[in-house]
């Protein structure tokens, strides 16, 4: 007898909007900090929050480590280029470039860890709904959902084409033939994407999908705008004091 898996409950819409708004606000504030000590403290706080989310089962530990590794791969590439300056005798170490690379590295990790902790357990559809609730145009929200949905479809198409190429004896190498075959593979994937987009458009129209924005049915709540303005003023004041 098969047992049904427990379904993960989606958080309420106000909580989703609060989490997304907090993540955006914290990201903006962290991007303006210029003190390495404060940024390092923010990284430590974000890491603790991310580990707490992982301990609660919301964010798996292997997924957290994989995301941190992908972020720091970009940071490592940054350290290979930014701290060096081209002088007459060749590349030389630049203190100013190293300082900027340190600030960018700390900001990137602090923002990434904060967003991982605050948005843990949310998929693209929940984030799109929360963004639409915060004022994102409905068309952009739908575009976000469709993009995330069909990126996986295109990746599956790429894997199937790659499998078919290998079944026909294709082995990639450092030669002109490999470049030509990979260019044909990319063109075929783009053709599949165009055909998929046409079928999706026909399916949406067949289901009476309307692109015009629907009139708002919720009553305006001025206290939300007042709370948002107060939070923005408070954040700006804290940013001015920390600088």
In a domain, 225, yes or no: no
pLDDT attached to residue 22: 87
Residue 90 is given by DSSP the state E
| Number of domains the chain is built from | 2
In a domain, 52, yes or no: yes
pLDDT category of residue 91 using cuts at 50, 70 and 90: confident
pLDDT attached to residue 148: 76
Dihedral angle of Cα 221, 239, 39, 111, to the nearest 10 degrees: 30
pLDDT attached to residue 1: 39
In a domain, 155, yes or no: yes
What phi and psi values does residue 87 have, to the nearest 5 degrees? -115, -175
What lies within 8 Å, CB to CB, of 149 at 6+ separation is 124
Residue 142 burial by Cβ neighbours in a 10 Å radius (0-12, 13-18, 19+): middle
pLDDT attached to residue 211: 56
Q: Are residues 124 and 178 in the same domain?
A: no
Condensed to tens digits (0 to 9), the pLDDT of residues 171-229 reads 888 888 889 888 988 898 888 888 888 888 888 888 877 655 444 445 555 555 566 66
Q: Which domain holds residue 19?
A: 13-133
| pLDDT > 90 in the chain, percent | 13
Beta bridge partners of 93: 84
Q: Are residues 150 and 127 in the same domain?
A: no
In a domain, 212, yes or no: no
* Distances from the Cα of 243 to the Cα of 1, 40, 109, angstroms: 62, 15, 19
Q: Are residues 114 and 147 in the same domain?
A: no
Q: Are residues 22 and 118 in the same domain?
A: yes
Q: Are residues 97 and 29 in the same domain?
A: yes
pLDDT category of residue 7 using cuts at 50, 70 and 90: very low
Q: Are residues 120 and 183 in the same domain?
A: no
Query: Is the per-residue pLDDT at 44 higher than 90?
Result: yes
Q: Are residues 19 and 119 in the same domain?
A: yes
Q: Are residues 95 and 168 in the same domain?
A: no
What lies within 8 Å, CB to CB, of 243 at 6+ separation is 32, 33, 34, 35
- Measured on CA atoms in the order 227, 230, 232, 235, is the torsion positive or negative? negative
pLDDT attached to residue 33: 86
Q: Are residues 192 and 101 in the same domain?
A: no
Q: Are residues 89 and 194 in the same domain?
A: no
């Amino acid at each position: 007898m098969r047992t049904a898996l427990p379904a993960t409950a989606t958080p309420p819409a106000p909580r989703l909007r609060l989490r997304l708004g907090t993540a955006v606000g914290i990201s903006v504030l962290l991007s303006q900090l210029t003190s390495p000590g404060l940024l390092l403290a923010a990284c430590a706080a974000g890491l603790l929050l991310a580990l707490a989310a992982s301990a609660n089962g919301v964010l798996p530990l292997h997924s957290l480590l994989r995301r941190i590794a992908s972020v720091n791969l970009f940071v490592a590439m940054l350290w290979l280029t930014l701290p060096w300056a081209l002088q007459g005798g060749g590349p030389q170490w630049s203190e100013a470039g190293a300082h900027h690379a340190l600030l960018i590295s700390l900001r990137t990790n602090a923002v990434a860890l904060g967003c991982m902790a605050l948005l843990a357990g949310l998929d693209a559809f929940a984030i799109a709904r929360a963004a639409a609730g915060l004022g994102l145009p409905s068309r952009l929200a739908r575009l976000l959902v469709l993009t995330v949905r069909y990126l996986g479809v295109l990746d599956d198409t790429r894997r199937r084409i790659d499998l078919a190429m290998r079944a026909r004896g294709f082995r990639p190498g450092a030669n002109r033939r490999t470049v030509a075959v990979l260019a044909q593979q990319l063109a075929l994937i783009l053709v599949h994407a165009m055909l998929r987009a046409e079928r999706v458009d026909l399916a949406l129209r067949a289901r009476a999908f309307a692109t015009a924005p629907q009139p708002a049915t919720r009553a305006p709540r001025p206290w939300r705008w007042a709370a948002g303005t107060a939070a923005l003023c408070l954040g700006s004041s804290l940013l001015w004091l920390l600088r």
